Amino acid sequence: MSNYPTPPFKSQKQPVPGDQSKMDPYPDCGEKSYKGSGRMANKIALITGADSGIGRAVAIAFAREGADVAISYLDEHDDAKETARWVEEAGRQCILLPGDLADKAHCSAIVNDTVKKFGRIDVLVNNAAFQMTHETFEDIPDEEWVKTFDINITAMFRICKAALPSMPAGSSIINTSSVNSDSPSPSLLAYATTKGAIANFTAGLAQSLGPRGIRVNSVAPGPIWTPLIVSTMTEDDITHFGKNTPLGRPGQPVEVAPIYVLLASDEGSYISGTRYGVTGGKPIL
């Protein structure tokens, strides 16, 4: 077992959306540790929010398992280029797709660009998310509530709809939910509400697409050490992040990636409509 960092962490508040290269400790996305075994040979994957954090860990794992990867991200160009470097170092092709998923046209564009480059999409990972913390319900601005839904769940609907014509039987859709879908944090109410919606969207879509041979699942991470944390939470929350889990620490992105590999690979051929928790021991029901 790796000796992963435990809180307290040093003060390191960043502006949104956060820069992974400036985080201390630096998140482990499997750059030095993930070992592939050909479980996704020659598959094509589109991953949103893949510049850093969980998305980067999934991109690295997919590439080392044999997949070519399209990386969708907002504007964190340096982080995205670093992810692409690791994908290409694994001997796989990679394209970068910057832009705002709150824009309906961009949701279609990332799908079209992926299909234009690779011909199809075998694995779609809807991972991009936005969150902000607020002390009270009244502190949540209306425009922020709408933005959170646009990025976290409406974009997911649009991307799935655009991608389906290019997804053959045997394909897999994996949506990133959260432990907040089961145990919502009041300080993350907008985010938590979208994550509950994602869990239900996933369960319903799995039933709709089952006859086409397309599987749909969601992953519910607990506290994972990513740029989203240092750019959207309070200094105190950052310092003690992950302390209240049974394992007493936050998870590292590399610890989440293996469940995405299972759900994306043919080994998961009878797994659909389910939510998988990676929570450091905090139960989800």
Catalytic status, residue 260: no
Q: Which two tokens stand for residue 180?
A: 């907040």
**Of 4, 26, 73, 191, which is the active-site residue?**
191
∠ at Cα 256 (223, 34), nearest 5°? 135
Cα–Cα distances (Å) from 99 to 11, 23, 48, 151, 250, in that order, read 30, 23, 10, 11, 29
Rounded to whole angstroms, what are the CA distances from 144 to 23, 102, 172, 285? 25, 12, 31, 29
The residues assigned a catalytic role are 191
